Amino acid sequence: MKQLPLLVALASILLATTAHAHKPRFSDGTAVTPQRALVVQEPAMSQVYYHEVTKTTPRIWLAFDLQKDQEVYLQLGMPVLQRLSNCRPAMALVGLGLPPITLPFDVPEGSGGTLWKTDDVKEPQFFHEPFTGTDSWILKETRTKVPQAGRYYAVAFIPAGAPGKLWLAIGTAEEFGPQDWLQMSEWTKKVRAFHEVTGAPG
């Protein structure tokens, strides 16, 4: 019974620190084309995909199904690392019914899209995530309604072609269940490793 207050306190901390957090997902580097996109089953659910950009993994594609006039929320950021201070990733929403778009790679046939660059961002928004103890720069966020039902894609990349790191978040609905709490320790390790932070969170 002595452990009960500790468990209650831990649960309170978890709920407080993840109240506005994305559920973490980790890119394995294979989602470099629309055909190999990571499928997001619940695009309204708040989740973030961490991706390292290299010559062989130049971008990350997410695929999800939306209804006509459904709104999709996207957010683009990167870890606070000195070598990335001048890095400016971009993201795009791609799908049928969207305006014509020109990207430095192929999109599904008949698709248009909207591109958001971040070249003009001089001071990215600083964000500290207290549970993992990591810092990020938020470069762009958008809410967009799609013109028709169908499959849509979000893609993030670094236009300059330089290596780096970025994360792409989708959705705003916060859903953390018992299985998520069981994975939180492992998630924290992976998120801190991505941000190149050593040790345990403070």
**CATH (domain of 166):** 2.60.120.380
Question: Residue 178 to residues 11, 166, 169: CA-CA distances in angstroms?
Answer: 11, 28, 22
The H or E element containing residue 115 is strand 112-116
Q: 10-67, pLDDT tens digit by residue?
A: 343 444 443 346 789 999 999 999 999 999 999 999 999 999 999 999 999 999 999 9
In a domain, 201, yes or no: no
In a domain, 49, yes or no: yes
> What is the reported pTM?
0.86
In a domain, 7, yes or no: no
In a domain, 14, yes or no: no
In a domain, 25, yes or no: yes
In a domain, 3, yes or no: no
Residue 187: per-residue pLDDT = 85
Residue 123 pLDDT greater than 50, yes or no: yes
The domain total for the chain is: 1
Provide the residue count of the chain. Answer: 202
The 3-state DSSP class for residue 89 equals: coil
In a domain, 131, yes or no: yes
In a domain, 12, yes or no: no
> 63 is in which domain, residue-wise?
20-194
Round the average pLDDT of the chain to a whole number and report it: 88
